[in-house]
Each structure stands twice: as C-alpha cells, then as structure tokens.
Amino acid sequence: MNLQESLVQIVGEHALKTKEPMMRHTTFRIGGPADYFVMPGSIMEIQKIAALCRDNQIPYVIIGNGSNLLVGDRGYRGVVIALDRNYSEYQTEPDGRIRAQSGILLSSLAGAALQQHLGGLEFASGIPGTLGGAVTMNAGAYGGEMKDVLESALVMTQEGELLSLSNEALELGYRSSIVMKEQYIVLEAVLRLTPGDPEKIAETMRELNRRRKEKQPLEYPSAGSTFKRPEGYFAGKLIQDAGLAGYRVGDAAVSEKHCGFVINLGNATAAQVQRLIQEIQEKVWKDSGVMLEPEVKMIGE
C-alpha cells in the first residue's frame, strides 16, 4: 500500500488533498504545493498519520490557520497535517471552563465565551490563529496572553505519547512554551474564564478590534507581526527609525501603517519575503545594534 492509500485509509478521501497549493492555507497567501495535505478529525487519526510518517521517514508538519507561517515557493515535500475546521469542536462547562480542540479559531472561541457570558478572552477575539498555535507560542495582544486563561493542554510528543500538561508545566513565556521547545503537538486545551457582563465583554472586543483595524495593515495578506519584540524595544519602531517604512522587495513590503508587519502587496513570493526579512535585519542591526528575530515560522522549499 502506498502513502496516499494509507492516508485515505486513515482519514478518508474527503480529508486528503494531493499537490495542494499552500497559498490557500496561509494568511500570507504565499506558498507552493504540499505533496499531501490531510485534515484529520480525531486524536486517533492524528496519532496514526504521525506514526505512518515516522515509520516511513516521511517529513510532516502541523499547521492551524497558517497565520504565522511562510511556506516556500516550491512547496512542502511530505505531509501537511492541518488541524483546522475538521478538528474544532468545543464544550463549555458550568464552572467557567471551556474545553476545545486545537483547530478552533481564537475568534470563534472568543465568540463562544461571549455567548456564555465569560470574560478573559477578549484580547484574542481579533487574532487570526487557532487555539493550538496560540498555546504553542503563548499568543497575546493588548495586555492579555494565553497563559492568563489557560488551565491545561493535552499534547502529543514526537513519539506519539499523549501528555496532559498544567499551565505551569507548559512553561509559557513571551512567544514561547515547552510545546515549542520540545516540538509537541497541541491537541486540546482547557481554558478557565471569568463570568462577566456580556455587554461589557462585547464592548471590549469591539474596542480592541477597532484599535487593531486602525493600527494594523489588515487590508493586506501578512503573517501578523514579523519579528519578536526585542527586550527594551519595539520591532516596528526600530524598523521605522531605520527608514524602512514602505521598503519593498518585489511585492513583499514593509507596511507603512505598521512597520512591524511585512505585507504581500499582491504577488509576493516566499523568496522575496525572506530576502526582505534579511535586509530588515541587516539594516536595523547596522542602525541600532539590535538583531531582530523573526516570529514567522518558515517551512518548505
């Protein structure tokens, strides 16, 4: 049995695509074809796909909404496991907890919390990623971050073992976690939220989304903040001070609205984005002595 037949046996034909353009699955709208693109719907399916790839030494990568991802122009040789709409169920519990699969969008989860009159996730309502990615990198915005609301997470190790990790065991820091360090895969998470006035929760969400729209170049495809915040500085300010607002390599450009964002003006390639990132790093280093570290994950060829 070949790889394609084995994958179909695990997830069914409806949940497998071959030679799938990755530009359809990243917020950058960039990326060549993945050999295999699978959309599992259960933990068992995820375990079986990962085991199949490990046993046959086939590269594989986990993605969510592709909101922090740059895929190479020649695509990805191997299996892309997409934890998104096929793996996005949640349930609310009477004590303020929400248990959710990692493929659910943060915006959907924030909406579900609002319906249950639960506060604490307002900061996440405009973040375009999934819960799994948010746990992995301890996503945050406007003074809130995942570690404030995360009680525990179920993860899978590289060997396929399932571990339930508490907030403390997840070692959540600025854009970091034990998940990232050990290359675990987030399968589920439990959030503990606070009962609140739904009108106030909704108003906070509207205000944060208004500020996001006002300050970020949401009208262009991007992967969000391109660089991590250097200690004691703001990446966008350093890039602006280096005179790089609007600077372009092909259709990849530094946003004039917010210099911390590299945007796709229409037909940017991954190579152009990578070159632009490198040129930004070199210019900022020369200008201020600060080496910017990319926040965007890069995969593929």
pLDDT of 243 > 80? The answer is yes
Whether 35 and 120 map to the same domain: the answer is no
Name the percent of the chain lying above pLDDT 90. Answer: 87
Q: What is the mean pLDDT of residues 165-173?
A: 92
The three-point CA angle 253-175-57 to 5° equals: 90
pLDDT of 53 > 90? The answer is yes
Whether 26 and 102 map to the same domain: the answer is no
Rounded Cα distance, 130 and 108, in Å:
9
Determine which one of 107, 122, 175, 222 is catalytic. 175
Count structural domains, the chain: 3
Q: Give the pLDDT confidence of 124-143 residue by residue, as tens digits.
A: 888 889 999 999 999 888 88
Q: Which of 213, 247, 273 is the last residue of a domain?
A: 213
In one-letter notation, the amino acid at residue 3 is L
Determine which one of 151, 256, 279, 295 is catalytic. 295
Q: What is the mean pLDDT of residues 65-76?
A: 95
Rounded Cα distance, 76 and 31, in Å:
9
The answer to whether 255 and 240 have CB atoms below 8 angstroms apart is: no
The packing angle between helices 198-215 and 106-115, to 10°, is 150
Domain that holds residue 243: 217-299
Give the pLDDT band of residue 291 (cuts 50, 70, 90): very high
Whether 163 and 208 map to the same domain: the answer is yes
Q: Give the pLDDT confidence of 259-274 residue by residue, as tens digits.
A: 999 999 999 999 999 9
Determine which one of 177, 222, 225, 255 is catalytic. 225
Q: In the annotation, is 164 catalytic?
A: no
Q: What is the mean pLDDT of residues 50-57?
A: 95
Phi first, then psi, for residue 99 (nearest 5°) are -105, 125
Instruction: Give me the pLDDT at residue 64, please.
Output: 93
Whether 133 and 191 map to the same domain: the answer is yes
Return the CATH number at 64.
3.30.43.10
Q: In the annotation, is 108 catalytic?
A: no
Whether 99 and 207 map to the same domain: the answer is yes
Q: What share of the chain is helix, strand, coil (3-state, %, to 5)?
A: 35, 30, 40
Whether 164 and 107 map to the same domain: the answer is yes
Whether 13 and 46 map to the same domain: the answer is yes
Q: In the annotation, is 288 catalytic?
A: no
pLDDT, averaged across the chain: 94
pLDDT of 95 > 90? The answer is no
Pairing relation of β-strands 252-254 and 248-249? antiparallel
Q: Which of 213, 230, 253 is the last residue of a domain?
A: 213
Return the CATH number at 96.
3.30.465.10
Whether 69 and 19 map to the same domain: the answer is yes
Return the CATH number at 294.
3.90.78.10
Pairing relation of β-strands 69-71 and 297-299? parallel
Q: Which of 195, 213, 231 is the last residue of a domain?
A: 213
The HSE-up count of residue 276 (CA atoms within 13 Å, CB side) is: 29
The answer to whether 97 and 167 have CB atoms below 8 angstroms apart is: no
Token look-up 């084995």 returns: 6
Q: What is the mean pLDDT of residues 79-106?
A: 94
Whether 81 and 107 map to the same domain: the answer is no
Instruction: Give me the pLDDT at residue 93, please.
Output: 87
Rounded Cα distance, 264 and 221, in Å:
5
Instruction: Give me the pLDDT at residue 142, please.
Output: 82
Kindly report whether the global pTM for this prediction surpasses the value 0.95. no
- Please list, in sequence order, all residues whose beta carbon lies within 8 angstroms of the beta carbon of residue 296, skipping any fewer than 6 positions away: 68, 69, 70, 223, 224, 226, 277
Instruction: Give me the pLDDT at residue 1, please.
Output: 76
